[in-house]
Chains A and B, each alone.
Chain A
Amino acid sequence: MDDNRYSGERPRRPAPQRRPMQSSRTRPPMRRRPSPEDRMSAARRYDREDEARPVRRYSREDEERPVRRRRPPEKQEQNAAVSEGESVQVMNIIVCLGAIFLIAIVLLVMTIMGKREKESPSENRKLAEFPKFSFSSLFEGDFTKGISTYFTDTIPGRESIKRFNSSFTECFGFSVGDVKINSSLKKVEQEKFDDKGVTTTKVSINTAPATTTTASETTKEGQETDKTTTTTTKSNQKKEEIVEIPENTNEGKLLGSVIVYGSGKETRGLVMSYVNFDLGKQFADAVNKWKEDLGDSVNVYAMPDPLSSAFYMPSNMKNMGTDQDENIKNIVGNLKNVVGINCVNELAKHMNEDIYARTDHHWLPLGAYYATKVFAESAQVDYPELDQYTKLTKEGFLGTLYTYSNYDQGIQNNPDTFVYYKAKNIDQVSCTYYDTSFNKMATPYGTDKSGLFYDSMEGSNCYLSFLGSDAQIVEINTPCKNNRVLVVYKNSYGNAMIPFLTNSFSKIYVCDYRYFDINGVDFCKKVGCTDLLFTGAISLICSDVGISSINNIRVQ
């Protein structure tokens, strides 16, 4: 048997006829003929043809003759140095291969035991799951790709490894002044929306109730019914005083992928939006198609929510990210028969209140309250004043911007106070959770009696205090008797709005467009939707991913 693995085949001297380049055209190179030196030492060398011979120890002399055949010139030069010796080679093999095998075994065991990571708190997403096998996914390559993605995405200790990575890449250089450019930041061209060129179409709101109140149980798919109730039509466009957003003279600095400015309780992190007019138009077109599919009986609203950077951007960073107000105007201008909702002005009126988290990329419930008010007015539904809500407070809300800023101390030392509001008639609200295919009920974890609030969420998870995680369809029955059924396709910004709508619609279906596995138009018809709202952080809902999701779930 051949046990030649460590057999210490003697490194040969460079045999001239084995030089690679000339060989193929100058002489037949195939079988290596022994050179004179080879023949000389043939007696004592371990014959490569003879595989049955026992292992010969790798001798000291062998190390002294370090040049292998077919070395490029540089390598020969390099090997002119004294070889490191067998003991170092063994050490190298044991250490490096040992590390690879050890990590491989640990990962394998952890996979088998199900100890892989499942969620990423800092990226606020569910990590990849092990792909389901099917022949079609195998032949399309999705299955194998899924395994590779799963393997990398769910590495245990992901969060701390990412923290290490950011401090490692910090070492690549130094920053002059406070400016720091991160690869996720892009230079942008600022576009200005010209509302003179656009004829604002008035969209009328159909305030008729849903045809069936127990829609989800009884309505058949695709059932269209004639409205018998008279519909009141009112323009949803009204003149409003424009609030000027004051200039923020703070010096902002770029940390990680976010801008940070201020000190103490004024420290604020900002995430930029890169939505441009082109993306905005694509988003508007995507929503327009829903309106075409759903027809007049359903009011469709598009409400891209501004990020805090729309209000608090320090003036030295003004050109980072695109102007969100202009982009929302552009989106609204491109909508056809869809009600566009721009809440920038309403939020600007309340800029000095705590409407956005300083340490998280989300808005705070108070901001969501003011923004939702704009929506409620457009939809012509009741919207109780804030005093109709019980105020609850959680301290120590340190959100995602801590991670995004590469763990900035200023952010860490000044967490937000998280204030949220529960309607006083919350005990008349009930929620049912479904999976993303609307097939079976899902059990939420740790909700209050209504099912809407997760009071136990703390620290970095404060924003999950309503509706919990995103990957569910939530059906909410409310005390409101107007028989209107609202379907919301949202990202996490939408979660904060829902608690303020429990007195505005009889029924609300909250769906996350990122995790929705069935046809959305059929779904709307099935549940008797009268009002369909697309809402979410503008930077996500108007991104390529957001737009393609909205297009996909309409036709999937």
Chain B
Amino acid sequence: MIFADLFFIYFFMPLCLALYFLTKKTVYRNRVLIGFSLVFYAWGEPVWVFILLLSSVLNYFAALAIAKAKQDSKAKLLMALVTIWDLGVLFCFKYIGFFVINFNSWFGLSIPVPKITLPIGISFYTFQTLSYVIDVYRGKVPVQKTYSKLLLYISLFPQLVAGPIVRYSTIADEIDRRKISLKDISDGVSRIILGLGKKVIIANSISTIVTSLFGEMKDGYEAMGNVTVLGTWYGAVLVGLWYYYDFSGYSDMAIGMGRIFGFHFDENFKYPYICTSITEFWRRWHISLSTWFRDYVYIPLGGNRKGKTRQCINIMIVWSLTCFWHGASWNFMIWGAYFGALLLVEKLFLLKKLERTNSFVQHLYAVILVAIGWGIFYFEEFGSLGKFFKSLVGFAPGGFTDVSTNSLFTQNIWLFIAACALSTPLIPKIKKAICTSKSSAKAFGTFGVLCNLAILLISSMLLVNTTNNPFLYFKF
């Protein structure tokens, strides 16, 4: 099941909320959540839900044993085994096809390529379970003795299939005791609607423009045959906006839903496009993933404490893993190498130089490089990626611009401006400026309620058009 779906919004979610608030005790509420979470997952993966259950059982017992063994060699062994299991499952589902294909082509073999469909969300929940076991091993969190509570953490449907990657420590308290305030519910609802609007109104509309400009994987990026220079730049920026609204919209809905249930997840996006460097961009984009890699890979490898060379190696290791996490495809490798290299250059000298320029230059530098990065991310096929790069620097088959590029631009100009403006903290700033007194805050709040209602209704109506509308980050 996905969030931006009428069935979810007008059947699953209301039913879940009703049952949740009809039960009073946290114990029962947890049962309601587990039940709905498993149905939610099984809705899309009626078979692989058992992998999720199996994984949660194994990790539960492993963590118990690790906690009991207390840091000795037995704990180490168990830790290694459970890591192998978790990453092994992920590898089998996600990467084995890719490896077999490449082995075949490198060594001229013809090993049959297994046809495995990727269970949705496996990259996300694997990382969640891993973080739990590692934290138990490190003694940072007390082990969870009740299986159902651990299962609740792993399967909690708001964050199950597309993040944010919630740490066990973040919600450990709230599994047992949580209070839900009026503000939690109100903010949660607003957040869900905001996320829905981001996905349905903005991201989906932008995606159709991108498809018109670039084509898509399934038509072999047909439109790249006569793309224009302006169209390429416009498209690259749009791809960046599209991914941002799509993914942050999902995170908003997850955070909002968590909040209604009384869980407080960490933010996953902090207006990434106001960044002034690539380093800053990655501190603001998909934060739960970058901090995961930082805490469980970068820092254990020594981080920046073992000298410049070691730090550079560490950065490159983290970046190859990050790109690999996104998917088994060569363009993700290039994408990871691209950002890894940029981060290295920034670490080594560029950041210092950038600081001496003015903020507009910094911003322009960051946004252009990020947009190019998203271009790499978008084209899963090398021929089209090559055309993309050629067109960026002026060698476009369709010339500088054409009627179709211009029309796509003017026909979506307001959408484009709005999408750019809303990717900055404009609304919080306006809110701060207006809400200086009680009455103005009240008026602003009332206006906000009306906006919420309008966004909800418009998004719902737009959803009628789409019978299939998955979130992008589902494939990861």
State the A residues within 8 Å of B (CB).
Answer: 1-9, 11, 20-21, 23-25, 28-32, 46, 48-49, 51, 58, 68-70, 72-75, 77-78, 80-93, 95-97, 99-101, 103-104, 107-108, 128, 138-141, 144-145, 147-149, 151-153, 155, 158, 161-162, 164-165, 168-169, 171-176, 179-181, 183, 185-187, 189
The number of chain B residues touching the other chain, given as a range, is 35 or more
Q: How far is the CB of A255 from chain B (nearest CB, A)?
A: 12
Q: Is the pair B270, A187 in contact by a Cβ cutoff of 8 Å?
A: no
Given contacts A1-B24, A175-B410, contact A84 B448 (CB under 8 A): yes
Given contacts A77-B432, A99-B453, A161-B464, contact A180 B407 (CB under 8 A): yes
Near A by CB (< 8 A), chain B positions 260-314 give: 264, 266-267, 270-271, 291, 295, 299
**A172: B residues at CB distance < 8 A:** 205, 411-415
**In this assembly, does B5 line the interface, its C-beta being within 8 Å of a C-beta of chain A?**
yes
Q: Is the pair A8, B181 in contact by a Cβ cutoff of 8 Å?
A: yes
The docked-state distance in angstroms from the alpha carbon of A175 to that of B180 is: 49
**A72: B residues at CB distance < 8 A:** 266-267, 270
| Most chain A Cβ neighbours within 10 Å, of B403, B425, B449, B456 | B449
**In this assembly, does B84 line the interface, its C-beta being within 8 Å of a C-beta of chain A?**
no
List 7 tightest A-B contacts by C-beta distance, closest first.
Answer: A84-B445, A88-B445, A78-B428, A183-B208, A81-B435, A89-B186, A9-B179
Q: Is the pair B182, A29 in contact by a Cβ cutoff of 8 Å?
A: no
Interface flags, B339-377, vs A, CB<8A=1, else 0: 000000000000000000000000000000000000000
**In this assembly, does B51 line the interface, its C-beta being within 8 Å of a C-beta of chain A?**
no
Q: How far is the CB of B342 from chain A (nearest CB, A)?
A: 22
The docked-state distance in angstroms from the alpha carbon of A230 to that of B212 is: 57
The docked-state distance in angstroms from the alpha carbon of A95 to that of B440 is: 20
**In this assembly, does B68 line the interface, its C-beta being within 8 Å of a C-beta of chain A?**
no
Given contacts A78-B425, A168-B458, contact A31 B173 (CB under 8 A): yes
Given contacts A81-B435, A152-B7, A186-B223, contact A176 B407 (CB under 8 A): yes
State the B residues within 8 Å of A (CB).
Answer: 1, 5-7, 9-11, 13-15, 17-18, 21, 24-26, 42-47, 135, 139-142, 167, 169-170, 172-173, 177, 179-186, 189-190, 193, 205, 208-209, 211-212, 215, 219, 222-223, 225-226, 264, 266-267, 270-271, 291, 295, 299, 403-404, 406-416, 425, 428, 431-432, 434-438, 440-442, 444-446, 448-449, 452-453, 456-458, 460-468
| Most chain A Cβ neighbours within 10 Å, of B173, B408, B457 | B173
Q: Is the pair A107, B10 in contact by a Cβ cutoff of 8 Å?
A: yes
Task: Name the residue of chain B whose CB is nearest to the CB of A7.
Answer: B179
**B26: A residues at CB distance < 8 A:** 2, 51
| Most chain A Cβ neighbours within 10 Å, of B183, B215, B441 | B183
The docked-state distance in angstroms from the alpha carbon of A31 to that of B176 is: 12
Q: Is the pair A183, B211 in contact by a Cβ cutoff of 8 Å?
A: yes
A92, A155, A171: the one contacting B186 at CB < 8 Å is A92
The docked-state distance in angstroms from the alpha carbon of A21 to that of B268 is: 12
**B135: A residues at CB distance < 8 A:** 24
Q: Is the pair B172, A30 in contact by a Cβ cutoff of 8 Å?
A: yes
Given contacts A81-B435, A84-B441, contact A49 B225 (CB under 8 A): no
**A100: B residues at CB distance < 8 A:** 9-10, 13-14, 456
Task: Name the residue of chain B whose CB is nearest to the CB of A168.
Answer: B458
The docked-state distance in angstroms from the alpha carbon of A69 to that of B263 is: 12
Given contacts A73-B270, A88-B449, A151-B7, contact A187 B226 (CB under 8 A): yes
**A51: B residues at CB distance < 8 A:** 26, 177
**A68: B residues at CB distance < 8 A:** 264
A4, A96, A145: the one contacting B456 at CB < 8 Å is A96
B180, B205, B445: the one contacting A5 at CB < 8 Å is B180
Task: Name the residue of chain B whose CB is nearest to the CB of A147.
Answer: B7
**A28: B residues at CB distance < 8 A:** 139-141
A104-B11, A164-B461 given; 9 more Cβ-contact pairs under 8 Å:
A30-B172, A51-B26, A72-B267, A77-B428, A78-B431, A97-B185, A161-B461, A176-B410, A187-B223
Q: Is the pair B181, A6 in contact by a Cβ cutoff of 8 Å?
A: yes
Q: Is the pair A87, B46 in contact by a Cβ cutoff of 8 Å?
A: no
Q: Is the pair B11, A151 in contact by a Cβ cutoff of 8 Å?
A: yes
The docked-state distance in angstroms from the alpha carbon of A186 to that of B437 is: 53
The docked-state distance in angstroms from the alpha carbon of A104 to that of B8 is: 10
Given contacts A181-B408, A187-B404, contact A84 B462 (CB under 8 A): no
Task: Name the residue of chain A whose CB is nearest to the CB of B283.
Answer: A21
B7, B181, B406: the one contacting A9 at CB < 8 Å is B181
Q: Is the pair A104, B183 in contact by a Cβ cutoff of 8 Å?
A: no
The docked-state distance in angstroms from the alpha carbon of A86 to that of B187 is: 12
Q: Is the pair A30, B142 in contact by a Cβ cutoff of 8 Å?
A: yes
Given contacts A84-B445, A95-B452, A141-B44, contact A30 B169 (CB under 8 A): yes
Q: What are 25 A-B contacts with C-beta separation under 8 Å? A: A6-B185, A20-B170, A20-B266, A20-B291, A24-B295, A25-B299, A51-B26, A81-B431, A81-B432, A83-B435, A92-B189, A93-B189, A100-B13, A104-B15, A128-B467, A144-B44, A148-B1, A149-B467, A151-B11, A152-B5, A161-B464, A168-B458, A168-B462, A176-B407, A183-B211
**A101: B residues at CB distance < 8 A:** 14, 18
The docked-state distance in angstroms from the alpha carbon of A140 to that of B44 is: 9
**B416: A residues at CB distance < 8 A:** 173
Given contacts A92-B448, A151-B7, A175-B411, contact A189 B25 (CB under 8 A): no
Q: How far is the CB of B218 from chain A (nearest CB, A)?
A: 9
The docked-state distance in angstroms from the alpha carbon of A101 to that of B15 is: 9
Q: How far is the CB of B160 from chain A (nearest CB, A)?
A: 16
Task: Name the residue of chain B whose CB is nearest to the CB of A8.
Answer: B181
**A104: B residues at CB distance < 8 A:** 10-11, 14-15
Q: Is the pair A21, B441 in contact by a Cβ cutoff of 8 Å?
A: no
The docked-state distance in angstroms from the alpha carbon of A135 to that of B278 is: 50
The docked-state distance in angstroms from the alpha carbon of A181 to that of B169 is: 50
| Most chain B Cβ neighbours within 10 Å, of A11, A20, A145 | A20
**A4: B residues at CB distance < 8 A:** 179-180
**B47: A residues at CB distance < 8 A:** 139, 141
Given contacts A89-B182, A92-B190, contact A174 B6 (CB under 8 A): no
Task: Name the residue of chain B whose CB is nearest to the CB of A127.
Answer: B467
B46, B212, B441, B462: the one contacting A183 at CB < 8 Å is B212
Task: Name the residue of chain A whose CB is nearest to the CB of B440.
Answer: A82
**A25: B residues at CB distance < 8 A:** 140, 295, 299
Q: How far is the CB of B312 from chain A (nearest CB, A)?
A: 21
Task: Name the residue of chain A whose CB is nearest to the CB of B266.
Answer: A20
Q: How far is the CB of B251 from chain A (nearest CB, A)?
A: 12
Q: Is the pair B181, A96 in contact by a Cβ cutoff of 8 Å?
A: no
**A174: B residues at CB distance < 8 A:** 410-411, 413
Q: How far is the CB of A103 from chain B (nearest CB, A)?
A: 5
**B185: A residues at CB distance < 8 A:** 5-6, 89, 93, 97
